[in-house]
């Protein structure tokens, strides 16, 4: 039933800002205009002193949606990648890193953008209008070519490689991602990663994270770009779950079936590492077992990539990286010991589990190396560009065991748990680690770290044989 409103009801219906006196309702004032923009080009490097051209400035990458179509017989790749990022300054232009491949088209937020190639791998993009600081924007790049033809430096920078079965694989450190998709190639700027890959029938694509429809993989945790991967081959694939439900996908190339005995021990290895480092930090687990004589295996996130020679200690090492290096990533390459020294020491922890005396093993190693100026001359921190991977796998193990004996097992155990917990899915520095070690132990460890990690000679006996090593 409809009724006439009384004057009182009409007054009650009026906005509180207007009295019932006939005064007009005052509209709220318009919002203030945005501050003026001062757009500048984003930096063409992220700031690592060892690799000053790596990565870029002016934005924070949030996620990569990588799309590729690959034809194994010809080796041709077509790519269609969208990078979602947030501007950290007013941007007139910005860079992505891409090596070798030809760029056909670039769009920023759906609008055509100008682009050019500079230096060895800078893709310089000028958006149709400047991008305001704090704005989330999307850059789509379409590109193609034969990635195996892109030059690489060798060693641990492997480039795009053809596999024995006619497929291909991509692993490398510190440079990997820019060989096959446009990226902010610095571990300082971790982001989520999704791959959709199209390959001919009979081929299988393996990558990081959780498996979706064929050729689709999603890593929801932030990942440093060199830890992303793609492998295309005639794989046989084993699927299972860990006790907590984490999916496990392990792929074996033709000729690598013998590695199944090692791969099958992954749940046991992860259970052991969890007891040492805390909860498994990744979204998935598994491995990519190649039948390739690559000079290294690599801790590609969630799914390490193994050379044909990989053994059980390698499995332990690469999965320890899922905490040390993958979840907690370095900020500068001079701090690579944060990754490698502790992943290498995890092999000793596994040997201790199997009954070995680590003190005896340590003393034997000291006796063998005591007179080697080359061995003790290797710095473990701030070692200089080109020397990152020289001492961290051997001297680094001894240094970590000496640290353990210096601070005692209770403090060392706390440290191994606190480090991946405090910096989970982030970045950290060697200075951060030293500070945490001092807090957890209650000791002034600066002289110890100076001798072992920054020093270039045999440590004095007090630091060489601390704690139980004195006996």
Structural domain ending residue among the three candidates 230, 258, 274: 230
Cβ pair 221, 252 in contact under 8 A:
no
**CB-based contacts of 317, cutoff 8 Å, min separation 6:** 297, 343, 344, 346, 347
Domain edge (last residue) among 299, 327, 355: 327
CA–CA dist 52, 48 (Å, integer)? 5
DSSP code for 75: T
Share of the chain above pLDDT 90, in %: 91
In-domain check, residue 140: yes
The predicted pLDDT at position 68 comes to: 98
Q: Give mean pLDDT, residues 154-158.
A: 87
Structure tokens at 392: 């961290």
Helix (H) or strand (E) segment spanning residue 398: helix 395-407
What is the rounded distance in angstroms from the CA atom of residue 363 to the CA atom of residue 361?
Answer: 6
The pLDDT assigned to 26 comes to: 79
Query: Do both 137 and 65 map to the same domain?
Result: yes
Q: Could you tell me if 366 and 322 lie in one domain?
A: no
Do both 95 and 214 map to the same domain? yes
CB within 8 Å of 90: residues ≥ 6 apart: 37, 38, 39, 40, 130, 131, 132, 133
One domain for residues 53 and 128: yes
- Cα(262)–Cα(274) distance, integer angstroms: 18
Q: Where are the alpha helices (DSSP H) in 20-97?
A: none
Structure tokens at 72: 């194994």
Q: What is the pLDDT of residue 9?
A: 39
Whether residue 9 lies inside any domain: the answer is no
* C-alpha to C-alpha distance for 374 and 151, rounded to whole angstroms: 31
pTM: 0.92
| Domain match, 65 and 211 both | yes
32 lies in a domain?
Answer: no
What's 256's domain CATH number? 3.30.2010.30
Whether residue 328 contacts residue 334, with contact meaning beta carbons closer than 8 Å, is answered with no
- What the block records as the tokens of 362 is 């340590």
**Is 7 domain-assigned?**
no
372: pLDDT confidence band, cut at 50, 70 and 90?
very high
Q: Which residues contact 428 (CB under 8 A, 6 or more apart)?
A: 328, 329, 330, 331, 338, 419, 422
DSSP character string of 292-329: S--S--B--TTS-EE-TT--HHHHHHHHHTTTBTTTEE
Say yes or no: 420 and 462 in one domain: yes
Angle at 391 between CA 447 and CA 285, to 5 degrees: 105
- CATH label of the domain that carries residue 377: 1.10.390.10
The Cα 131–Cα 107 span in angstroms is 13
What's the rounded mean pLDDT across residues 311-326? 98
Assess whether pLDDT exceeds 90 at residue 110. Answer: yes
- In which element (H, E) is residue 29 found? none
264 and 396 together in one domain: no
In this structure, the answer to whether residues 62 and 173 fall within a common structural domain is: yes
**Residue at token pair 């924070």:** 60
Give per-residue pLDDT as tens, 217-238: 999 999 999 999 999 999 999 9
Average pLDDT value for residue range 248-257: 97
Choose the final residue of a domain: 281, 309, 327.
327
- Residue 349, domain member (yes or no): yes
In a domain, 24, yes or no: no
Q: Three-state SS for 219? A: strand
Residue-averaged pLDDT of the chain: 94
Q: Are residues 334 and 322 located together in one domain of the fold? A: no
pLDDT at 2: 37
Look at residue 136 and give its three-state secondary structure.
strand
Same-domain pairing of 249 and 396:
no
pLDDT band at 4 (very low <50, low <70, confident <90, very high): very low
Distance CA 98, CA 178 (A): 5
Q: So what's the pLDDT on residue 35?
A: 86
Residue 26 lies in a domain: no
What share of the chain in percent tops pLDDT 70? 95
Q: What is the CA radius of gyration of the chain?
A: 27
Considering the domain architecture, whether residues 129 and 200 belong to the same structural domain is answered as yes
pLDDT in tens, 281-291: 999 999 999 99
Let me know if residue 11 belongs to a domain: no
* Domain residue limits at 346: 330-469
CA distances from 62 to 85, 139, 243, 333 (A): 5, 12, 31, 22
- As a whole number of angstroms, the distance between CA 189 and CA 92 comes to 20
Residue 41 clears pLDDT 50, i.e. is over it: yes
pLDDT in tens, 386-426: 999 999 999 999 999 999 999 999 999 999 999 999 999 99
Cα(371)–Cα(236) distance, integer angstroms: 48
Distance from C-alpha of 222 to C-alpha of 301, rounded to nearest angstrom:
10
Domain count, the chain: 3
Q: Identify the residue with better confidence: 3 or 278.
A: 278
Q: What is the CATH number of the domain that holds 43?
A: 2.60.40.1730
Show the DSSP H helices in 217-265 as ranges.
Answer: 260-263
Q: Token pair for residue 342?
A: 């502790």
Res. 24 pLDDT band, cuts 50 70 90: low
| Continuous segment of H or E residues that includes residue 344 | helix 337-353
Give the lowest-confidence range in 154-163, 211-220, 315-324, 432-441: 154-163
> Is residue 160 located within the same domain as residue 176?
yes
What confidence tier does 81 reach under pLDDT thresholds 50, 70, 90? Answer: very high
């Amino acid at each position: 039933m409809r009724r006439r409103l009384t004057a009182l009801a009409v007054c009650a219906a009026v906005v509180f800002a207007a009295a019932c006196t006939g005064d007009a309702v005052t509209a709220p004032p318009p919002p203030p205009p945005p501050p003026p923009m001062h757009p500048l080009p984003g930096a063409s490097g992220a700031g690592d002193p060892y690799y000053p051209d790596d990565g870029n400035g002016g934005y924070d990458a949030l996620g990569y949606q990588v799309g590729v179509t690959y034809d194994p017989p010809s080796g041709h790749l077509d790519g269609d990648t969208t990078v979602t990022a947030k501007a950290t300054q007013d941007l007139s232009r910005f860079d992505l890193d891409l090596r070798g491949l030809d760029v056909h088209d670039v769009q920023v937020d759906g609008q055509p953008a100008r682009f050019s190639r500079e230096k060895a791998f800078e893709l310089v993009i000028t958006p149709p209008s400047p991008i305001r600081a704090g704005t989330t924007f999307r850059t789509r790049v379409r590109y193609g070519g034969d990635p195996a033809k892109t030059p690489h430096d060798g060693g641990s920078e492997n480039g795009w490689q053809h596999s024995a079965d006619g497929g291909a694989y991509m692993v490398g450190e510190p440079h990997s991602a820019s060989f096959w998709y446009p990226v902010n190639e610095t571990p300082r700027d971790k982001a989520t990663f999704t791959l959709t890959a199209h390959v001919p029938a009979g081929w299988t694509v393996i990558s990081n994270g959780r498996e979706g429809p064929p050729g689709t993989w999603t890593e929801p945790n932030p990942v440093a770009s060199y830890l992303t991967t793609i492998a295309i081959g005639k794989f046989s694939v084993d699927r299972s779950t860990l006790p907590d439900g984490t999916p496990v996908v392990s792929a074996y190339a033709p000729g690598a079936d013998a590695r199944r005995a090692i791969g099958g021990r992954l749940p046991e290895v992860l259970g052991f590492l969890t007891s040492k480092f805390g909860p498994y930090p990744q979204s998935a687990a598994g491995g990519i077992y190649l039948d390739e004589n690559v000079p290294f295996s690599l801790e590609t996130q969630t799914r390490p990539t193994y050379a044909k020679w990989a053994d059980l200690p390698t499995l332990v090492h690469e999965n320890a990286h899922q905490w040390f290096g993958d979840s907690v990533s370095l900020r500068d390459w001079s701090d690579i010991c944060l990754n490698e020294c502790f992943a290498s020491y995890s092999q000793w922890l596994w040997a201790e589990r199997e009954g070995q005396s680590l003190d005896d093993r340590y003393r034997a190693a000291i006796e063998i190396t005591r007179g080697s100026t080359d061995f003790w001359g290797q710095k473990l921190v701030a070692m200089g560009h080109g020397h990152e991977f020289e001492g961290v796998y051997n001297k680094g193990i001894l240094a970590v065991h000496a640290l353990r004996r210096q601070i005692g097992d209770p403090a060392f155990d706390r440290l191994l748990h606190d480090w991946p917990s405090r910096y989970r899915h982030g970045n950290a520095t060697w200075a951060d680690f030293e500070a945490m070690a001092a807090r957890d132990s209650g000791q002034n460890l600066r002289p110890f770290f100076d001798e072992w990690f920054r020093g270039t000679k045999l440590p004095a006996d007090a630091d060489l044989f601390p704690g139980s090593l004195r006996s």
